[in-house]
Structure 1
Amino acid sequence: MKPLSCFRILACTAALAAALPGLAQAQANWPNKPVRVILPFAPGGSSDLVGRQVAQHLSSHYGQQFVAENRAGAGGNIGVDAVAKSAPDGYTVGIGTSGPLANNKSLYNPMPFDAEKDLTPIALVGEIPLVLAVNPSVKANTLAEFVALSKASANGLTVSNPGNGTIGHLATEYLSMQAGAKLQPVPYKGDSLAMVDAMSGSVNAVLVPVTSLIPNIQANKLRALAVTAKTRFPALPNVPTAIEQGVDLQATVWSAMVGPAGLPQSIVTSLNQEINKYTSSPEGKAKLNSLGMVPLAATPQELQKLMSTEAAKWQEVVKAARISVE
């Protein structure tokens, strides 16, 4: 090796060694300035409120502001893309949902980011299950009766959802595939419009996140047939899950914190431990429950597996039903 080359290598090695203590110290002192928490949906919705609640707790715990910033659009892709393209220094993270973190991979072409390669999973926050509810005039009191009624109907039954490609739409198609039901998904612009037309009888049923429907289910304006989670929803304890009724239908809107790829492990571990403590605490459970969310806890590795599993699951549904989002 030439002497000059050796000198350059030694110089680079020395520079790197000198920089490492500073880098380690910077991570040890994290956070020493405000942290941006990008929320990929418009203000006021359940996902936004959950994100703000978590950001508020982290601000109190770390003694630095975790500033919520809404970056809505493209089913959550715009906000999560901003996280993916940020510097991996711990000062920009995001709280995304199952849409941009898993489902959208099969719906949008092209996707601006690859969730598995461009993001660092940090912590699972919780989930909001969907509920299938029917207009009181529909002669079905169980999921089995609803499926049977759909098969007996000439044109099947209509089921409203919050929009093309939303989890309500995907879950309706999944129910058709799993139970052989004859269903016609009817997309609306949001949960409220989908719910209103189900109550009026313009459509037979509605399949949206449970939080939108609770008051009208409790007022008997809609009849809930099934919750699409592993366990019953606390606010509707008398409504069985689809699984209890023999249909393996699991469809939830889950929320999780992610950062850009390459986020230092020390920061990931710190945030994961604190968020898990919060979602498992009486205070955290009460706060998230009030927003209609079932709190959850997971390691970064478990969150990574969830993202991959959900992406593969809904990809099959999207392909089979030929769903596309323009």
Structure 2
Amino acid sequence: MHTRRGALQGLAAGAAALVAGRAFAEDGVLTVFVGAASSMDFTARLIAEQYRVTLGRPALMVSKLGAGQRLALGEVKRAAPDGRNLVFATSGPFSVYPYIYNKLDYDPVADFTPIAGISFFDVAIATGPMTGVKDLKELIEWQRRQKEPVFGSAPGNGSLSHFVGISTNLATGLHMTHVAYKDSGVGIIDLASGRLPMMITGLQPMVEMHKAGRIKLLAVSGSVRSPLVPEVPTLREAGVDVSSSTYTGVFGPPKMAPELVAKLHDAVAPMLSNPVILEKFAQQGMTPWPATPQQLAALLADERKRFEALVKASGMPREDA
């Protein structure tokens, strides 16, 4: 009797939660949190605007910078599963952080609900006047001759830039020491002034200095060349068997109703076929990636396997989060 009554009460509570979730999704302000600057907060604004237009309700972007996006993730992890609070984030906190930090304050699978894939972007390898090389092959040989070869990356430890450097070490047998930059601008200045031989960071911030001849882009990390600099080869084309991109997506709190997830996915998806938005993506060095919740979850699962193996092979020590 008590067991049956408890089960019925549990079912009633679950049904009430689903109804409440659907009701809340129809009204109130929808907030899109973002934990990284530059092209990330730019895109988060586009996402919030898309939700405003499609759902016909107030929507805004809130920048919550710090702790490698973890502050923004925390806002959504603690939120009710009603669709009012979402986060736009890169794949790193879900696929990389579990293997580079000793203890995270979230579970990358259980604490979030994948909603939609949005974009992916590459990083690029560049050099400056310190080396005087003309291509990646020459840079690798230059690094081999150095007593203490180094490379810089931004935004530093655990980023795609960092892992492209680690992967390049493993693929070429180099032992370059990593110099972490929180700000890509500082690293690019060091590169252009001859204080740093090699920088790995997002492509877009380096394009103008490359075109001005102050630095030289040698390779992009993705599987295809970038339309921003079509003359620059991929790493594989340049002779280094490495290919890696950062993916971005929209995530909600845990235990969201499937109907609500589908609604939020369908509401944001049209922006990825909008020519105006696609042009803005291209200017930021991003490629649209219109993934379903299931495709986003599957990609992150594959990424976790890949980065677990990569961290283990590199011998990279774990850090405190």
- TM-score scaled by length of structure 1: 0.88
Taking the TM superposition and a 5 Å limit, the aligned residue runs for 1:68-147 are 68-147=61-140
2:281 maps to 1:295: no
Instruction: Give structure 1 stretches of 5+ with no counterpart.
Output: none
Q: Please give the secondary structure, in 1, of the residue aligned with 2:54.
A: helix
Q: For the Cα contact (< 8 Å) 1:134–1:205, is it kept in 2?
A: yes
Query: 1:80: Cα distance to partner?
Result: 0.9
> 1:279 Cα deviation (Å)?
1.3
Cα deviation for residue 208 of structure 1 reads 0.4
Match in the other structure for 2:199: 206
Q: Quote the residue 2:27 is aligned against.
A: 32
1:180 maps to: 173
**d(CA) in 2 for partners of 1:33 and 1:189?**
36
> 1:325 aligned to 2:319?
yes
Contact 1:278–1:284 (Cα < 8 Å) also in 2 = yes
**Amino acid aligned to 1:196:** I
Unaligned runs of 5+ in 2: none
Asked whether the equivalents of residues 218 and 233 of structure 2 are also in contact (C-alpha less than 8 Å), the reply is yes
Counterpart of 1:269, as a letter, is A
Greater mean alpha carbon deviation, residues 99-108 or residues 202-211 = 99-108
2:278 to 285, 292, 297: 285
Give the conservation status (yes or no) of the 8 Å contact 1:55–1:68.
yes
2:110 aligned counterpart, secondary structure: helix
Contact 1:165–1:324, Cα closer than 8 Å, also in 2: no
SS of residue matched to 2:122: strand
1:161 to 153, 178, 199: 153
Give the drift of 1:226: 0.5
For residues 11 and 164 of structure 1, the distance between their equivalents in structure 2, rounded to whole angstroms, comes to: 49
RMSD: 2.5
Counterpart residue number, 2:223: 230
> What SS is found at the alignment partner of 2:225?
coil
Q: Secondary structure at the match of 1:30?
A: helix
Equivalent position to 1:276, from 269, 272, 292: 269
d(CA) in 2 for partners of 1:49, 1:169: 23
Q: Secondary structure at the match of 1:195?
A: helix
Q: Distance in 1 between matches of 2:307 and 2:16?
A: 45
Q: Deviations over 1:256-314 (max 9, x none)?
A: 10112211111212222333321132122122223332221112121112212222322
1:141 shift after superposition:
2.6
TM-aligned CA deviation for residue 24 of structure 1: 4.4
Native 8 Å contact 2:34 2:44 kept in 1 = yes
For 1:187-202, list aligned pairs within 5 A: 187-202=180-195
2:130–2:195 contact (8 Å) kept in structure 1: no
CA 1:109–1:271 in structure 2 vs 1: closer, same or farther (change >3 Å)? same
How far does residue 192 in structure 1 lie from its aligned partner after superposition?
Answer: 0.7
Percent identity (aligned) = 25
Q: Using the alignment, how far apart are the partners of 1:172 and 1:145 within structure 2?
A: 16
- Distance between the aligned counterparts of 1:26 and 1:167, measured in 2? 35
CA deviation after TM superposition for structure 1 residue 174, in Å: 1.2
Alignment CA distance shift 1:94-1:14 (3 Å) = closer
> Comparing 289-298 with 316-325, which one deviates more in the overlay?
316-325
Judge which range, 138-147 or 13-22, deviates more: 13-22
Q: How far off is 1:196 after superposition?
A: 0.7
Task: Work out the CA distance in 2 between the residues paired with 1:175 and 1:31.
Answer: 48
Q: Which moved more, 1:73-82 or 1:310-319?
A: 310-319
Q: Quote the Cα distance in structure 1 between the aligned partners of 2:10 and 2:91.
A: 42
What is the CA–CA distance in structure 1 between the aligned matches of 2:265 and 2:107, rounded to whole Å?
A: 22
Which structure has the larger Rg over C-alpha atoms?
1
Secondary structure, in 3 states, of the residue corresponding to 1:245? coil
> Relative to structure 1, is the Cα distance of residues 27 and 183 closer, same or farther in structure 2, using a 3 angstrom cutoff?
same
Question: Residue 118 of structure 2 aligns to a residue in which SS?
Answer: strand
1:11-50 to 2 correspondence within 5 Å? 13=8, 16=11, 20=15, 23-24=18-19, 27=22, 30-41=25-36, 44-50=37-43
